[in-house]
Chains A and B, each alone.
Chain A
């Protein structure tokens, strides 16, 4: 499984656009928002955490289709499915590789983008905490959408329709955590809910993704 993780990471880095592309997309979203809503600091500070979360969501979504599609095309997904490790493990490793190449850079870069959006002082810590806790769930749920649409020629738009509604709980609690943290309110409830949703997602969704892949490989 470690070998699979390293292989995926290596592919992402060497094939180009692994780390950089998601970040660049994130930067573009953050740059475009002030054009849309105007440059006043007060407005931006109010919506900053929401924008950062939406940017993370979209950056994650755009890189989903390459999780399984390339392996499906060149047949290595068939080999992985017949490999001695369970397909659920393969899916989890794929999700982890996806998170390291898109989620983790976003977590690291989010404070910088927060500065661009006048994020309130107290919110930085909570923004990082929320993204660290929330983005793994985005990647794991993404494998589910990618697994459902892997056999389709043009599955991209369909996949967004399937995956985005699943992101609703994570987005709600993630954004709420940052908002409450920024306002100095109690953050325990959204923090625990966010962590709980992520933990449950990691525990359960790989089974659904693996089932979908088996159907598609049949």
Chain B
């Protein structure tokens, strides 16, 4: 029993069809608990008022935006090294979700920034690097869409993902140098004595878990769709040959 067994599409389809309803159910539960608790049952913070509640969408989506790119990097590497098609299709399936997460983080950030900083948009390092990350997602998806041959597309987008990762990280630290930040530092970290108060912290954990599960659910669904589309294409090709 090893993880590589799931490189077999049949095995992947079977296991994912079992996992999918559980993942979807848990997503619904944790998102409902986290969002309802966060939006309606937490007190209003001093200085922030009710705007603090944007955090329950903003922070999880921002975390996912970065981690989905990391997941794409890993799956691209697996495709380039071991040539498992499911891996390449998972990367393809994850990209639009990552782009939407980035967009959600940017938009909720703007909604939060307007009352707090008095501006919708500021050329702050974090905001700018998210915008650049969004551009990388767009380029990646556009390249997938432009190439007909699926193996060529998977190879080229894989290479693009590797190079893009290096330059995305480089840009992240370059913009630090270029402008001073308005955005606060990390709110949550494991090694700090004091994170945000527990009243806000617990529902936030639910939201983060909900977003992670949401991503798992969506990426499984989309990968299954991609595999079925690939099968359909193969069938059509066989039909034409015959």
Contacts and interface: CB of A to CB of B under 8 A. Distances in A.
Interface stretch (A16-24, A77-85, A167-175): A167-175
Interface string B158-172: 011011101110110
Interface residues of A, number: 29
Nearest to B133: A165
Contacts, number: 75
B50 to A, nearest CB: 36
A205 B168 CA distance: 15
A215 B155 contact: yes
A104 interface: no
Given A158-B143, A215-B152, A166 B178 contact: no
Q: Is the interface of A mostly helix, strand, loop or mixed?
A: helix
Interface string A129-148: 00000000000000010001
Interface in B132-185: 132, 135-136, 138-139, 142-143, 146-147, 152, 155-156, 159-160, 162-164, 166-168, 170-171, 174-175, 177-178
Given A165-B164, A168-B167, A172-B177, 11 more contacts: A144-B163, A149-B146, A151-B147, A158-B139, A161-B135, A161-B139, A162-B143, A168-B174, A176-B177, A208-B159, A212-B156
24 contacts: A148-B143, A149-B146, A151-B147, A152-B146, A158-B143, A161-B135, A161-B139, A161-B142, A162-B160, A165-B135, A165-B139, A165-B168, A165-B171, A168-B132, A169-B170, A172-B177, A176-B178, A193-B177, A197-B170, A208-B159, A208-B163, A211-B155, A211-B159, A215-B152
